[in-house]
Chains A and B, each alone.
Chain A
Amino acid sequence: MSDKIRILLAKAGLDGHDRGIKVIAAAFRDAGFEVIYTGLRQTPEMIVDAALQEDVDAVGVSILSGAHMTLFPAIRKLMEERNCADMILFGGGIMSEDEITELGRKGVSKLYGPGTSTIEIVEYIKGAVAKKRAGEKLV
């Protein structure tokens, strides 16, 4: 039996627009994931602290405040510092292609813009987690 996929979803920074992330959370839940939702106005420290304790496979962050170029790298850096570099970091927001490329270089696996189908996102995470787990050694 394969283990359940656990993911953490959070809204980072001063941003109250949580309609999208709730849709994503429901899509992951309906796809059989265990979704930990931490709610609004999370700092990178709070997000990584929760991800570490929950031992999730992936962390999804929604940022619609314009602070994505600051927050995503900050989250990734903390994940590396706190021995959580194996977790997948992905997210959503309104970003330019250039920004997505740059964030990709900084360790954000995947970023989605408005209008993305939830199936596409769920399938991507399923595949990425399977790949990650294949290379993982047990305790």
Chain B
Amino acid sequence: MSVFDDFVRRDKRALARIITHIENRRENYRQLLAAVSRLPHQGYRIGITGPPGSGKSTLVDALVLRYIQQGLRVGVIAIDPSSPFTGGALLGDRIRMQHLVNRDSVFIRSMASRGESGGLAAATRDVTKVLDAFGMDLIIIETVGIGQIELDIVEACDSVVVVLVPESGDMIQTMKAGLMEIADIFCVNKIDRPGADRLLSILNSMVHERQTASSVEIRAVGTNGMNGEGVDSLAEAIEKHRGVITTGGELERRRGSQLKAEIVHAVRDRVVRQLEETIDFDGQFEHVSRQLASGELDLYSAADMIYDRYFRK
């Protein structure tokens, strides 16, 4: 496997080709992934998420520039949505990462979400491993914070930054479930805009209320990705979070539960695929569907029948 040898020699073209191979689940991708996973790796994963247009890519640009100036090697995975209708995607995160082009110590890969059933979470995890094995000190995963799949992805990171803007909403928005619950660090970007100080203070008080004795402290910082204001504080907050979870044993605990979740996901994916392919193994699925349509059966009785036949076969 010459491409693999090139990969070990840290050839970026080989890295790029291996990512394609794994992302597309081509023949032998599992052996390739297993070989990659056996290489030494010790990267730290940072997730950056938030609503569209909040300035995530611009912040990643500023943040990564700082990291490479410190001599670190950084991999970036930038995820944008695929069209559910055509399967096409416009991946535009690179436009905002112009400082990172042509740098030896940076590798940026744009990925399209390829639909909910496209296995984005698994593919992202695999690509993260590949970047890690390539010798990246930091792996940054940037994705829009909408939808369960995207949340799963960033949740699997070691430190999660949720980026908001002054227009993101009022106090009630910050109390809603989901996006706001996965943050290790809140970042109010476009801090020069009206309302930014207010959002920052709302977040600070929310974070304060949420703090329990056992939990790791959450921070809120203000930034201006365009001129770099506050990016040092953001980097510092990430570093602090990393320090706390690394020394307190939290990192190992997190990674342990992530690994369990990965196994569950992998098994679930297989079960779902098998179920979809063979649900009509004895022709009863069609029959029951007709009974449901005609009103002879209700949905849950129909489901009971199929479930019993399928899992007791």
- Please pick, from B12, B16, B19, B87, the residue contacting A4 in the complex, using a CB distance under 8 A: B87
Neighbouring B residues of A83 by C-beta, 8 Å: 13
- Give Cα A49 to B108, complex, Å: 10
Q: Determine whether the beta carbon of A53 is less than 8 Å from that of B108.
A: yes
Q: Does A33 contact B (CB under 8 A)?
A: yes
Q: Determine whether the beta carbon of A37 is less than 8 Å from that of B94.
A: yes
Known interface pairs A3-B24, A55-B16. Does A32 touch B101 (Cβ–Cβ under 8 Å)?
A: no
What is the interface of chain B mostly: helix, strand, loop, or mixed? mixed
Bin chain B's interface residue count. Answer: 35 or more
- Size of the A side of the interface (Cβ < 8 Å), in residues, is 30
Neighbouring B residues of A54 by C-beta, 8 Å: 16, 109-110
Known interface pairs A29-B83, A52-B13, A53-B109. Does A139 touch B28 (Cβ–Cβ under 8 Å)?
A: yes
Q: Does A89 contact B (CB under 8 A)?
A: no
Q: Does A28 contact B (CB under 8 A)?
A: yes
Q: Determine whether the beta carbon of A139 is less than 8 Å from that of B17.
A: yes
Q: What 1/0 mask marks residues of chain B from 110 to 131 whose CB sits below 8 Å from any chain A CB?
A: 1010100000000000000000
Known: A35-B91, A36-B92, A36-B110; 15 extra A-B contacts, CB below 8 A, are A3-B24, A4-B24, A4-B114, A30-B83, A34-B110, A37-B91, A37-B94, A53-B107, A53-B109, A54-B16, A55-B19, A84-B13, A139-B1, A139-B4, A139-B32
Which 7 residue pairs are nearest across A and B when measured between Cβ atoms?
A: A39-B95, A55-B16, A29-B88, A3-B24, A32-B87, A55-B20, A46-B101
Q: Determine whether the beta carbon of B89 is less than 8 Å from that of A35.
A: yes
Chain A residue nearest in CB terms to B93? A36
Q: Determine whether the beta carbon of A29 is less than 8 Å from that of B90.
A: yes
Neighbouring B residues of A38 by C-beta, 8 Å: 94-95, 101
- Give Cα A89 to B19, complex, Å: 22
- Give Cα A112 to B101, complex, Å: 27
Q: Does B214 contact A (CB under 8 A)?
A: no
Q: Determine whether the beta carbon of A34 is less than 8 Å from that of B24.
A: no
- Give Cα A48 to B248, complex, Å: 44
- Give Cα A45 to B103, complex, Å: 11
Q: What 1/0 mask marks residues of chain A from 46 to 66 whose CB sits below 8 Å from any chain B CB?
A: 100110111100000000000
Q: Determine whether the beta carbon of A29 is less than 8 Å from that of B26.
A: no
Chain A residue nearest in CB terms to B112? A34
Q: Determine whether the beta carbon of A138 is less than 8 Å from that of B95.
A: no
What is the interface of chain A mostly: helix, strand, loop, or mixed? mixed
Q: What 1/0 mask marks residues of chain B from 279 to 290 whose CB sits below 8 Å from any chain A CB?
A: 000000000000
Pull 7 A–B residue pairs with CB atoms less than 8 Å apart, ordered by A: A4-B114, A29-B83, A29-B88, A34-B82, A36-B110, A46-B101, A139-B17
Count of A-B contacts judged by CB separation below 8 Å: 92
Chain B residue nearest in CB terms to A37? B92
Q: Does B102 contact A (CB under 8 A)?
A: yes
- Give Cα A64 to B114, complex, Å: 33
Q: Does B308 contact A (CB under 8 A)?
A: no
- Give Cα A3 to B94, complex, Å: 22
- Please pick, from B4, B18, B28, B95, the residue contacting A37 in the complex, using a CB distance under 8 A: B95
Q: Does B297 contact A (CB under 8 A)?
A: no
Q: Determine whether the beta carbon of B88 is less than 8 Å from that of A82.
A: no
Chain A residue nearest in CB terms to B18? A139
Neighbouring A residues of B19 by C-beta, 8 Å: 55
Chain A residue nearest in CB terms to B95? A39
Q: What 1/0 mask marks residues of chain B from 59 to 102 whose CB sits below 8 Å from any chain A CB?
A: 00000000000000000000000110011111110110010011
Known interface pairs A28-B88, A46-B102. Does A138 touch B27 (Cβ–Cβ under 8 Å)?
A: yes
Q: Determine whether the beta carbon of B21 is less than 8 Å from that of A49.
A: no
Q: Does A31 contact B (CB under 8 A)?
A: yes
Neighbouring B residues of A84 by C-beta, 8 Å: 13
Chain A residue nearest in CB terms to B3? A139
Known interface pairs A55-B19, A139-B1, A139-B3. Does A26 touch B90 (Cβ–Cβ under 8 Å)?
A: yes
Q: Does A100 contact B (CB under 8 A)?
A: no
**In the complex, which of the residues A28, A29, A45, A46 has the most CB atoms of chain B within 10 Å of its own CB atom?**
A29
